[in-house]
Structure 1
Amino acid sequence: MLKQPRAVWAVAFACVIAFMGIGLVDPILKSIAEQLDATPSQVSLMFTSYMAIMGVAMLVTGVVSSRIGPKRTLLSGLVLIIVFAALAGSSDSVGAVVGFRAGWGLGNALFVATALATIVMSARGSTAQAIILFEAALGIGIASGPLIGGLLGEQSWRAPFFGVSVLMLVALVATAVFLPSTPPTGRRTSLADPFRALRHKPLLLLAITAIFYNIGFFTILAAGPFALPGAGIIEIGWIYFGWGVLVALVSVVVAPLVQRAIGTTQAILVTLALFTADLAVMAVWADHPTVVAVGIIASGAFIGNNNTLITEAVMGAAPVERPVASAAYSFVRFCGGAVGPYVALKLFGLPPHEHVHAPFVFGAASVLVGVVVLALGFRPVAAALAAHHAAQGHEREDEAEAVLVGDLD
């Protein structure tokens, strides 16, 4: 799995930098709220605008990529992230930061959806191995984002935004140099293709499940820092660094083992149930910062496991092209999950009347709804994945037979 072309590593490196943006703002959320005179719910809109625009933009990623090619799409996304991250760091109001984060989300959508498809198409080995590489890049980016955000954030809340802009410039150069030209291939997709893909029940069920899972995920990111009243910027950075390390390790090492042991759909259900329990514990003991910190770090294991499993499940849940399946799934989960951070911190309230338990109750209840949705749709999802794995097995047998015939010749 590690013997990959330089192009794959270049795109993976760019993915690491792109995913830093998810956790980068966690350590500086309270600092931004204080210095820009914003409420927690206003600050949470940095997540909401980022995800909502990213979700809507996912509908056009396939359209753009099929017309200008994956490489140009990747580079366009990177340029947008560089520009809007720098503009966010230059802002003087929370509204401007929220707006520029939306532009950042547009760039991330163009880059991330195309990056996954590019890695899957360019990598040596199976689709599952390529997805593990992608999830490893995601995990490393998520892990390093809060730490870099904390270290730079101690200097100024603006520094993390400028830092991402500089790192993305490095990623832009690496992608431009090492990724070969990728002209458009195959048919041109349309805006209607992702909606057609959602007619397939297994894909729709996974996307709806992911809405509620994402609400829990972003409740951890948005509400966590505000439930740690005694923690400074660097302390929050280290807590979320531990969280991100677990995301990375579990997504790469543990998820494939769990999948082989009990099956993909069963593993997703168990993981979501454990994530619900973790959020419930945080809800009950939310006024104990140590419990909240441990709960945040522990949630990384459940998020890492679920990210790998559900991404691979989506790729086999419907008989459509992988970029189309990814666009349809991402559109539903990001747009639906975008409400999570805002609602969670709206429930949190304003000093001195904070309801510190409420965001985690909301997160736990949301993930529990996801468990129920997937449990009710267990049979069609499991059947679709079984058919996909059987088809992959036949493809591998055909490839092995072709190699054997070539050796005999």
Structure 2
Amino acid sequence: MTGTPQGSIWRQPAQVWAVAFACVVAFMGIGLVDPILPAIAYSLQATPVETELLFTSYLLVTGLAMLITSWISSRIGAKATLLLGLALIVVFALLCALSSSVDAVIGFRAGWGLGNALFISTALATIVGAASGGSGAAIVLYEAALGLGIAIGPLLGGLLGEISWRGPFFGVVALMSIGFIAVLVLVRERRETREPIPLSAPIRALRHPALAALAVTALFYNIGFFVLLAFSPFPLGFGAMGIGLTFFGWGVALAITSVWLAPALMRRVARTTIILVTLPLLALDLIAAGLLVGDPAALVVCIIVGGLLLGVMNTVLTEAVMEATDLPRAVASSAYSAVRFLGGAMAPPIAAALAHVWGETVPYLFAAAAVLIAALTVLLARRVLGHIDDPGAGEQEHAAAIVVGDAA
């Protein structure tokens, strides 16, 4: 992100901070329920598999909704899409908090996933359109919001979860309501001609070999990601606060490597090389977690080390997708995001079922195998992925590409 004037990142219009605040809360939703999974299972008399479906419904709908977010936002505009997404999150988080059965929470988390897809698919483009200091400054703000949200989500979930499993949901309602009002009052719609994007465009995009290879890679990689995130609260055996602190450390580790280490590596090392080194290291970490699952302290270390590796992978994979095709970036990102979220959706209940039948080591070995399949996919597709290693245009052009892609 060089080329951005020093200090300009933090001198932004009010509408930028309004969207950035809402981004933090939106990304908190990923790990918010982690600390309260055991409490939900106990309070609602749910099995671990049923409880893990809280992640599945959320991620499945988020992924499928990514196929239509660009179609919607290209017709109703960015501000309307942001507000619709925020409103849905507020409504469905409140319904989760008021629910009395695990089935109801699972269903309402699906509605939450739809709102989240609409919001996060539009937020970065909105920030870039209003930010001072260029697109580089805007992306730094967005990445900071993402990292902060991922880190704070489990911590807030732990703090409020000590009071009641309903507490984190009420917390999201309050924070997202503030975000909705801030966006409504402060964000100004940009007056520009928007070309409607066909509904079928993301599906057709997956015919591109490079994009398809990266999407399959992300699908299997996300299995590893969400086994570590969603299954680990059960073998840890901690209370809500202990789980929250553990995954706060995980989120901080992920944010550090995503924002600082990954960009530094990409300036020096080819993207495919970074992926082919990081994925096997992640697999080894997951194997270690499985073998040491009976030792909570050792499992905590494996979780935090996993966060460091996941941060690198998240950033490198996203940037690789942006360079993979000459398709419109919004379309490419929609297609890729839809497939990768499917991996996250299937992983938690499969992990819980494997643990029930074969013990708590096996889910981590399953996750390690999935991550190795992701690495093998990149290795076999390296010929069609060769162009993503080309540094290409200058940083500002590349930053703009990421912006458009994340607006999918």
- Scaled by the length of structure 2, the TM-score of the pair is 0.91
For the pair 1:175 / 2:183, whether they are aligned, the reply is yes
Q: Judging changes above 3 Å, is the alpha-carbon distance between structure 1 residues 60 and 313 closer, same or farther for their aligned structure 2 residues?
A: same
Query: Structure 1: which amino acid aligns with 2:362?
Result: A
Pick one of 59, 70, 76 that aligns with 1:62: 70
Unaligned 5+ runs, structure 1: 397-409
Q: Secondary structure at the match of 1:378?
A: coil
Pick one of 319, 342, 347 that aligns with 2:326: 319
Q: Secondary structure at the match of 1:262?
A: coil
Q: Secondary structure at the match of 1:390?
A: coil
Pick one of 270, 278, 292 that aligns with 1:263: 270
Give the CA RMSD over aligned residues.
Answer: 2.0
CA deviation map 1:159-184 (0-9, x unaligned):
10010011011111222233221356
- After the TM superposition, which residues 9-408 of structure 1 pair with which residues of structure 2 at under 5 Å, given as runs? 9-123=17-131, 130-183=138-191, 185-229=193-237, 231-349=238-356, 355-386=359-390, 389-392=391-394
Q: 2: CA distance between counterparts of 1:339 and 1:94?
A: 18
**Shift of residue 364, structure 1, vs aligned partner:** 0.7
**Shift of residue 10, structure 1, vs aligned partner:** 2.4
Using the TM superposition, name which of 109-118 and 183-192 deviates more: 183-192
Contact 1:86-1:162 within 8 A present in 2 as well: yes
Q: Judging changes above 3 Å, is the alpha-carbon distance between structure 1 residues 220 and 157 closer, same or farther for their aligned structure 2 residues?
A: same
Query: Structure 2: which amino acid aligns with 1:390?
Result: G
Q: Judging changes above 3 Å, is the alpha-carbon distance between structure 1 residues 393 and 244 closer, same or farther for their aligned structure 2 residues?
A: closer
The residue aligned with 1:399 is none
Query: Structure 1: which amino acid aligns with 2:245?
Result: W
**Shift of residue 5, structure 1, vs aligned partner:** 4.2
Q: 2: CA distance between counterparts of 1:277 and 1:288?
A: 17
CA deviation map 1:353-401 (0-9, x unaligned):
7701011111111111101101111232231452xx43457969xxxxx
Q: 2: CA distance between counterparts of 1:377 and 1:337?
A: 22
Q: Judging changes above 3 Å, is the alpha-carbon distance between structure 1 residues 307 and 263 closer, same or farther for their aligned structure 2 residues?
A: same
Q: Secondary structure at the match of 2:384?
A: helix
Query: Structure 2: which amino acid aligns with 1:362?
Result: F
Q: Secondary structure at the match of 2:164?
A: coil
Q: 2: CA distance between counterparts of 1:55 and 1:395?
A: 27
Q: Secondary structure at the match of 1:261?
A: coil
Q: 1: CA distance between counterparts of 2:168 and 2:375?
A: 36
**Shift of residue 319, structure 1, vs aligned partner:** 1.2
- Scaled by the length of structure 1, the TM-score of the pair is 0.90
For the pair 1:7 / 2:11, whether they are aligned, the reply is no
Using the TM superposition, name which of 3-12 and 312-321 deviates more: 3-12
Q: Judging changes above 3 Å, is the alpha-carbon distance between structure 1 residues 94 and 395 closer, same or farther for their aligned structure 2 residues?
A: closer
Contact 1:128-1:312 within 8 A present in 2 as well: no
Contact 2:320-2:388 within 8 A present in 1 as well: no
Contact 1:26-1:222 within 8 A present in 2 as well: yes
Query: Structure 1: which amino acid aligns with 2:110?
Result: A
CA deviation map 1:298-334 (0-9, x unaligned):
1111111111111122122111222212211111111
Q: 2: CA distance between counterparts of 1:104 and 1:48?
A: 12
Q: 2: CA distance between counterparts of 1:225 and 1:325?
A: 34
Q: Judging changes above 3 Å, is the alpha-carbon distance between structure 1 residues 395 and 341 closer, same or farther for their aligned structure 2 residues?
A: closer
Unaligned 5+ runs, structure 2: 399-408
Q: 1: CA distance between counterparts of 2:126 and 2:379?
A: 32
Query: How many pairs are equivalent?
Result: 390
CA deviation map 1:259-293 (0-9, x unaligned):
11212222222222221111011111112111111
**Shift of residue 77, structure 1, vs aligned partner:** 0.2
